[in-house]
A and B are shown apart, each in its own frame.
Chain A
Amino acid sequence: MKNAIRISCNRHNLKVVRDFVSTYLAAYSLSDLHLNQIILAVDEVVANLIIHANHEDESQFLNVRVGVEKQVFEIEIEDDSNSSYQPSLYKEPDLQEHIRTGKKGGVGMALVNRIMDRVEFTTTGTHNVCRLYKHIA
């Protein structure tokens, strides 16, 4: 089964990545709810990388690899943008404040952090890797 894809930084490719993860995980008989959560977490990270880190520059690419080992789903997303995500700057969103001010963004990483068991971001030079892990037994 195909376990890696490369996509250009166009937000239309979000659906491509969601379908790729869904197809890969079809063999693991997850509930609709559980599968949707994992797809959502991946979608949020990929959307951030396409839109915020790479500014939807279609000459830039993301490499996405998935795997399951010892009942843990792992996904690795690589890019080469100059702006890397800083997990230490993460703040839990105040939703009532978002509503009051009409803020559109800023809740994606909250979803990722609440859904996945482990979230890692590493940067070497301009090479960024995000790894997400989720127990799927």
Chain B
Amino acid sequence: MKIAQQTTENTLTLSLDGELDASSSVLLDTELTKPEVLDYKKVLIDCQRLNYISSAGLGVFISHLQRFQDAGVKLVFFNMQEKVHNVFEILGLDALMTIVPSEAEATAI
């Protein structure tokens, strides 16, 4: 799993590349736990190159969602592959998290 970061004044974009499982999710958790993440208004997760997600990866997002909401930070996923989106759907997480098709839509939120 590789995580690339891009920032603007109000937005942090994390581009995930690889497979997010019980081994690699530790890296993502470390990134999202950093206090400076809460300085942004939006955290965008670019999932174009995210080929796999397990419950450990989902758990990282679940565990930070309330903290983000409390700080007024929006968490938005975009460019998600169908098989990855399907994992969110199986648990009903697609209804609880903001997932949009494109970066343009994510930016517009």
Interface residues of A (CB under 8 A from B): 11-12, 14-15, 18, 32-33, 36-37, 39-40, 43-44, 47, 50-51, 93, 95-96, 98-108, 110-111, 114-115
A33 touches B83 (CB 8 A): yes
B59 touches A104 (CB 8 A): yes
**Does B37 touch A at the CB level, under 8 Å?**
no
A39 — nearest CB in chain B belongs to which residue? B52
- Rounded to whole angstroms, the CA-CA distance of A26 and B79 in the bound complex is 26
A107 touches B83 (CB 8 A): no
A33 touches B96 (CB 8 A): no
Interface 1/0 per residue, B69-83 and A, CB below 8 Å: 000000000000011
Interchain pairs with CB closer than 8 A, number: 92
Q: What are some 20 contacts across the A-B interface (CB < 8 A)?
A: A14-B21, A15-B23, A18-B19, A33-B82, A36-B52, A36-B83, A40-B54, A43-B54, A47-B21, A95-B92, A95-B93, A98-B63, A102-B62, A102-B63, A103-B63, A104-B62, A104-B63, A108-B55, A114-B90, A115-B90
- Rounded to whole angstroms, the CA-CA distance of A24 and B52 in the bound complex is 18
- Rounded to whole angstroms, the CA-CA distance of A40 and B62 in the bound complex is 18
New contact pairs (18) apart from A50-B22, A51-B22, CB-CB < 8 Å: A14-B22, A15-B21, A33-B82, A39-B52, A44-B54, A44-B55, A47-B21, A47-B55, A47-B56, A95-B91, A103-B59, A105-B56, A107-B58, A107-B59, A108-B54, A110-B55, A111-B55, A111-B87
* Interface SS majority for chain B: helix
- Rounded to whole angstroms, the CA-CA distance of A96 and B62 in the bound complex is 9
**Does B5 touch A at the CB level, under 8 Å?**
no
Please indicate the chain A residues that have their CB under 8 angstroms from the CB of B63 in the complex.
98, 102-104
Interface residues of B (CB under 8 A from A): 19, 21-23, 29, 52, 54-56, 58-60, 62-67, 82-83, 86-87, 90-93, 96
User: What distance in Å separates the Cβ of B2 from its nearest Cβ neighbour in chain A?
Assistant: 15
Please indicate the chain B residues that have their CB under 8 angstroms from the CB of A114 in the complex.
90-91
Please indicate the chain B residues that have their CB under 8 angstroms from the CB of A40 in the complex.
52, 54, 87
User: What distance in Å separates the Cβ of B19 from its nearest Cβ neighbour in chain A?
Assistant: 7
B91 touches A110 (CB 8 A): yes
B22 — nearest CB in chain A belongs to which residue? A47
Please indicate the chain A residues that have their CB under 8 angstroms from the CB of B22 in the complex.
11, 14, 43, 47, 50-51
